Amino acid sequence: MADRVTPGPAAAGSAQTVNNIKESVCVHTRKVYDSCKDKDCIEDLVVFLDASSQCYIANAIGVRARSAELLFVGIDVEEVAFNRGYYTIDCRYFYKVKGEAYSLSNKCNEICGLAVFDKRVILFGSEGNAKIFSSSSAPSCDSMQTLMKSNMPVAVVEAVDPIILSMKLVDSCDCNLGDSECFDIPPFISTSFSDNLVISGEPRRVYCTLGQFSIVKLERDSQLLIPVYDYCVPEKECVGSNDTDPCDLFKRIKFPVDEFFPPNTIHCD
């Protein structure tokens, strides 16, 4: 049976020193208990336009998609009843969607609005009954609520900005896609738009289709024993910019060959 590794310097002649391991260190970090990746094609997502954009689509004959930006993901974790160790993770994605509205006069106006997408996944997060306290956490009015959930795993969502696949303009009276549910828009989301958002009562609506790549993880605080090879010391020296000689900085920039000679082929995954 192999000897149990304990924190501290590696013993001379041990298997650790043979592999250039100098020390075993106990670190406090988050351990990933379960994770999943997903590729969501979100069809017919309502875009709640701001007031000025809503005026532009009143007389528009069509819309074109431009871009979509992921602003925030709200996350809530709850235990799964009758299935110990598993948790539901409810994610609400908030997007800032931009497009163009065009009319018979060929005049294009930029439109901007908010799109919201809800997603639920179930992952294993193990069990933990310990209540965790830290000197860095100051008491607040929400301390009791935080204490009650201190044994819950932490959900982490990693996502990139979505790919906007399509956008269409629909008259509300002809829309069979159903009205959106009521939801609260966080104040910091509303401030991302230059005008007030029109949530209901609009005669015409814009719908978009987004492609979203994401990774969802469940983590818990853990103490892990890891091997240490050496301290991480930067090898590169810090170099400041030379404000007195801008040409010296320009000389360091490589010539943009690809801008003058586009490649003949594009590699696709």
Q: Which sequence spans correspond to the domains of the chain?
A: 29-221
Q: What is the DSSP letter of 139?
A: -
* 3-state class percentages of the chain: helix first, strand second, coil last, to nearest 5: 10, 45, 40
User: What integer pLDDT is reported at residue 269 of this predicted model?
Assistant: 58
Q: For tokens 């860095």, name the residue.
A: 136
User: What integer pLDDT is reported at residue 108 of this predicted model?
Assistant: 86
User: What integer pLDDT is reported at residue 107 of this predicted model?
Assistant: 79
How many residues does the structure list for the chain? 269
User: What integer pLDDT is reported at residue 19 of this predicted model?
Assistant: 66
Residues of the chain with pLDDT under 50: 1, 174-178, 180
pTM, full prediction: 0.78
User: What integer pLDDT is reported at residue 1 of this predicted model?
Assistant: 46
User: What integer pLDDT is reported at residue 12 of this predicted model?
Assistant: 59
Distance CA 230, CA 10 (A): 12
Distance CA 204, CA 221 (A): 49
User: What integer pLDDT is reported at residue 178 of this predicted model?
Assistant: 47
| Extended strands (E) in the chain | 8-9, 23-49, 62-79, 86-102, 108-124, 154-159, 163-171, 204-228
Contacts of 66 (CB under 8 A, 6+ apart): 98, 99, 100, 110, 164
111: amino acid identity, one letter: I
